[in-house]
Chain A
Amino acid sequence: MQTPSSERVDQILASLDKAQRVPAPPFFYTRLQARLSQSRPEEQSLLWLRPAPLVGLLSILLVLNFWLINTPTNSTSASATLADTAPEDEFQALSFEDRSVEHTVFDYEVGIEMIQK
């Protein structure tokens, strides 16, 4: 036999049995469209993070890297020019040294004086 509280509980449990489906609010699709258009720029900004564009980007970077390594750059040609001009510079430096030890007339006179003494 059911107690009064048990009957009451059954009554409450049955209260949703004939519930009608709650309809979506009006203009639901319009609001959804607005949200969809808002989310699109975000998706586009993150487009390059998707696997296919990311692989493409990495491939381009690899090709560029390989090309940069194998192409002679301006700095290497500049060093080559320096190497070409180096002997000339050496010659000039030597000739400057020679000139620095070149005997002058004054040196000659000092030498004679020393001999006479």
Chain B
Amino acid sequence: MTEQALIEGLKRGDETCFQYLVETYKDLVYNTAYGLLQQVQDAEDVAQEVFLQVFRSIHSFKAEARLSTWLYRITTSRALDLIRAKKSKKRFGVIQRLWSGEDEAPLDIPAVEHPGVALEQKEDASLLLRAIAKLPENQRVAFTLHKLEGLSYQEISEIMGSSVAAVESLMHRAKLGLRKILEKDISL
């Protein structure tokens, strides 16, 4: 099925086309969400929300961009929304604990294990994923899309709506930031 036929089918509300879309792109969406969120359940929730959004707003999709670009855009946006919501919830929890005078320490980020990494690389990958989680949002998105989805700077620039030079700069800063975080983590 061509992308054009798929989009037309989705606009008609054809369920077969929707199933085809999900089966074709579910791994792309899930892997991107997992890379950003680093949690199985959150990644699945976001992946489902992405397809629900596609189902509801396919009429607003303009064929100026590729379908995959649109899916990457929705996925990163949804994943970042969830990260922000969790951060604010965590902040609120800390304030609440301070207010109530409880001593319970906030939960730390759990050890991340990427299922797609070879066994001998798992420990290093876990360190790297924890470091990625500490990067600013834009750098995090660019680095994840490049490393885990294997996208080129050109493709990332289309997804993020910026220039290739801006993505290059983001990647450069992300690598510097990661190096700093990792050096600190290793020395501990």
Contacts and interface: CB of A to CB of B under 8 A. Distances in A.
Interface of A: 5-6, 8-9, 11-13, 15-25, 28-29, 31-32, 35-36, 39
A21 B52 contact: no
Contact of B27 (A12, A21, A35, A36): A21
B182 A13 contact: yes
Contact of B52 (A18, A22, A28, A35): A35
Given A12-B127, A24-B29, A29-B23, A19 B186 contact: no
Nearest to A31: B48
Interface of B: 19, 22-23, 26-31, 34-35, 40, 43-44, 47-48, 51-52, 55, 114-118, 121, 124-125, 127-129, 131, 147-149, 175, 178-179, 182-183, 186-187
Contacts, number: 94
A9 B127 CA distance: 10
Contact of B128 (A6, A15, A28): A15
Contacts of A11: 124
Given A12-B128, A22-B43, 6 more contacts: A12-B182, A13-B182, A15-B128, A21-B116, A24-B27, A29-B22
Given A5-B187, A29-B19, A12 B124 contact: yes
